[in-house]
Amino acid sequence: MDLLSGHIGTHLRELRERLIIAAVAVILCSSVAYYFSEPIARFFMVPLFSAHPALTKLVYTNLTEAFVTYIKVALMVGVICSFPIVIYQTWMFVAPGLHSNEKWLVGKVVFWGSGLFIGGILFSYFAVLPRMLHFLMSFAGPGLKAMPKLDGYLTFVTRLALSFGLAFEIPFLMVAAGKVGLVRRSYFVSKRKYAYLGILVLSFLLTVGDPFATVFLTVPLIALYEAGVLVMRIFLRDA
């Protein structure tokens, strides 16, 4: 009993230490990002102004809104920049349960986990966001004037970016779950039709009902799901 308690205590201490390292990385990256928060915010506004050229600036109606919004933007950028460190800490917490000849995978795990996350964010900004904004701003007309607020718009963009970044982690999470023995590959294969339905619903919600954008998101997410199944088959032959 004492041995078990000591083992659990060791794991909890390691988990706490790795969580602290990840949190410090996010805070440091966010602090640096805040220094550049204004140009970063202007960069996020480019797709909106392109979708509706008559709109040249955003508004804010609360005295603290701009300050708080820039903090949100800095935090989002900090999460993105520190993501490789977060992935590394997460994987190293799992690594003690792996065989010694498997720990060399940490470099590939960090690379692919970070790459998929950043890839999802870039996909949302360059591919999905412009299409969504064209659809949403199309409601503006002679009887309806668009006056987006700074906080509302930038919160919308950051949430969309983080949603896509996490969604693109599907293959990484599938392989990680298989590696630690939580789920077998056969489970993902047997539940494929339900996964497709869930992806379709998620895509519809993220793209606020725009049919073109829904398809635009559904296809790559299904491809990523199948990529996860394939990778599990290659690297987790007993799964």
* Greatest C-alpha distance within the chain: 75
What is residue 32's predicted lDDT score, i.e. its pLDDT?
95
Distance CA 186, CA 174 (A): 12
Question: Of the residues 162, 186, 217, which one is the last residue of a structural domain?
Answer: 162
What is residue 159's predicted lDDT score, i.e. its pLDDT?
82
The Cβ-side half-sphere exposure at 217, using a 13 Å CA radius, reads: 33
What is residue 238's predicted lDDT score, i.e. its pLDDT?
52
Statement to judge: residues 137 and 202 lie in one domain: no
Structural domains of the chain, count: 2
pLDDT digits (tens, 9 = 90+) for 88-121: 888 777 666 555 555 566 677 778 888 888 988 9
Estimate the share of the chain in helix, then strand, then coil, as percent rounded to the nearest 5: 80, 0, 15
Statement to judge: residues 227 and 129 lie in one domain: no
Query: What are the residue ranges in the chain where pLDDT is below 50?
Result: none
What is residue 98's predicted lDDT score, i.e. its pLDDT?
58
Query: What type of residue sits at position 219?
Result: V
Statement to judge: residues 69 and 136 lie in one domain: yes
Statement to judge: residues 84 and 117 lie in one domain: yes
- Token readout for 70 is 């820039």
pLDDT digits (tens, 9 = 90+) for 26-42: 999 999 999 999 999 99
Query: What type of residue sits at position 31?
Result: S
**Of 97, 77, 68, residue with least CA distance to 7:** 97
Statement to judge: residues 195 and 93 lie in one domain: no
Angle, helices 150-167 vs 106-123, to 10°: value is 140
Distance CA 116, CA 76 (A): 16
- Which residues 6+ apart lie within 8 Å of 20 measured at CB? none
Question: Of the residues 162, 180, 197, which one is the last residue of a structural domain?
Answer: 162
Statement to judge: residues 185 and 88 lie in one domain: no
What is residue 104's predicted lDDT score, i.e. its pLDDT?
61
Statement to judge: residues 176 and 146 lie in one domain: no
**Of 131, 198, 200, residue with least CA distance to 160:** 131
Query: Domain range for residue 213?
Result: 169-239
Distance CA 145, CA 213 (A): 24
For 70-94, give the DSSP string.
HHHHHHHHHHHHHHHHHHHHHHHHH
What is residue 207's predicted lDDT score, i.e. its pLDDT?
65
147, containing H or E segment: none
What is residue 143's predicted lDDT score, i.e. its pLDDT?
82
Question: Of the residues 141, 162, 183, which one is the last residue of a structural domain?
Answer: 162
What is the CA 173 to chain-centroid distance, rounded? 12
Global confidence as pTM:
0.79
Distance CA 106, CA 173 (A): 14
What is the CA 131 to chain-centroid distance, rounded? 19
What is residue 96's predicted lDDT score, i.e. its pLDDT?
61
